[in-house]
Amino acid sequence: MSPMRYAKHKAETFVLNLGPQHPATHGVLRIKLTMDGEYIVHAEPVLGYIHRMHEKMAENRTYAQYLPNLARLDYLGAISFSLAHCLIVEKACGIEVPERAQVIRVIMAELNRITSHLLWFGALIVDLGGFTPLLYTFDDREMILDLMDAITGSRLTFCYLRFGGVSADVDDAFISGVQKVVPHMRKRLKMYDSLVTGNPILRERLQGIGDITPDMCRSYGASGAVARGSGVNYDVRKTEPYSGYDKYDFEVPLLSDGDSMARFIVRMKEMEQSLRIIEQAAAHVPAGAYKNDSVPRILKPAVGDFYQAVETPRGAFGIRMVSDGSNTPYRMKLRSPCFSNLSLLPEVSEGMLLADMLAFMGSLDLVIPEIDR
């Protein structure tokens, strides 16, 4: 049955609360659903259950004190979020970053992107009724996290980046481990493709579900795999390169189908491209300093209005920072990719079966603390 075939003319609807404590929402998110039987008449996301005032907290913390906050937004892609904060402060203060530190940042960001996508992949399959792939994805994540833990001292909420570089240098054992991860993950991605991507049950659950047009992506500000699955060729690493991404040879996976299956395939291909970047970076880690030792302990950026965007695992994350010349920001605005992607839900889910909406939400790859910041 088509997901749009539901009785709009019926007056007998009921309200169903999905969440805020429901495993399929992957966080403290509530969806207020107006239902006509099994079909959705209207879906209203309700936020605020874990709001922590991150933007307001920036106003009474120094720029360095605020660094740990970024990892508490998207805890699955903490490196990219921290990188955005470092880049905007470095831009405002005119801080130079050594080339070695730039390469280390890229390696860490792409490793973190892969671990994030692996968790999304395993969790989506669990949402759809499968379990075995989750065990494989966590096995792969542990291999990568062991490497990152040895350098950063953390496995999830990384606070490894510093203004002008990183907090600790990488060693030969780390580089060797990274070079072993690349061929291992390429084999695993082929296995995931044969085990899951071609599975007819998965395709039945995702194909034709949650169609998003390019115009809808632009209207709601959708980004990341959500937009690229609808043919919108936008990746901050390509359009507004940072940290030397313009020096790496990689592609931006694009599909024009716009359904949940397209978003699934785009993310799987993104892991392949992250491996390409990591392979190039690990093969040419330059000698030299891993941080700029001339960075003052207390930073007071020039008066001005600054903006910096990065490509996180879930899309374009932006920081707008207004400086009044003091050691704390005057204002800090965080542009959340998941908030924009979630905003598609009411329009796209109208007429869907409830079970299909759960699959659609899984294809958006939402991290709620980043939305409800």
Is position 163 within any domain?
yes
Residue 15 lies in a domain: no
Q: Quick check: is 158 in a domain?
A: yes
Q: Residue 252's domain is classified under what CATH number?
A: 1.10.645.10
* Domains held by the chain: number: 1
Pair 72, 369: CB distance under 8 Å: yes
Bridge-partner residues for 334, per DSSP? 319
- The reply to whether 22 falls in a domain is no
**CA–CA dist 165, 142 (Å, integer):** 26
- pLDDT value of residue 373: 83
Residue 24 lies in a domain: no
CA distance 352 to 371: 23
Residue 42 belongs to a domain:
no
Flag whether 10 is in a domain. Answer: no
- Tens-digit pLDDT string for the chain (373 aa): 344 445 454 568 999 998 788 777 778 899 999 999 999 999 999 998 989 899 999 999 999 999 999 999 999 999 999 999 999 999 999 999 999 999 999 999 999 999 999 999 999 999 898 899 999 999 999 999 999 999 999 999 999 999 999 999 999 999 999 999 999 999 999 999 999 998 999 999 999 999 999 999 999 999 999 999 999 999 999 999 999 999 999 999 999 999 999 999 999 999 999 999 999 999 999 999 999 999 999 999 999 999 999 999 999 999 999 999 999 999 999 999 999 999 999 999 999 999 999 999 999 999 999 998 8
pTM > 0.75: yes
Residue 1 lies in a domain: no
Which CA distances in Å does 151 have to 81, 147, 148, 173, 277?
A: 18, 7, 5, 10, 19
Q: Which pLDDT score is estimated for 1?
A: 38
Give me the torsion for CA of 232, 308, 313, 274, rounded to 10°.
90
Instruction: Evaluate the CA torsion angle 352, 354, 359, 363 in order and state its sign.
Output: positive
Domain ranges, residue 207? 51-337+351-371
Task: Look at residue 26 in the predicted model and tell me its pLDDT.
Answer: 79
Give the bridge partners for 165, in sequence order. 162, 291
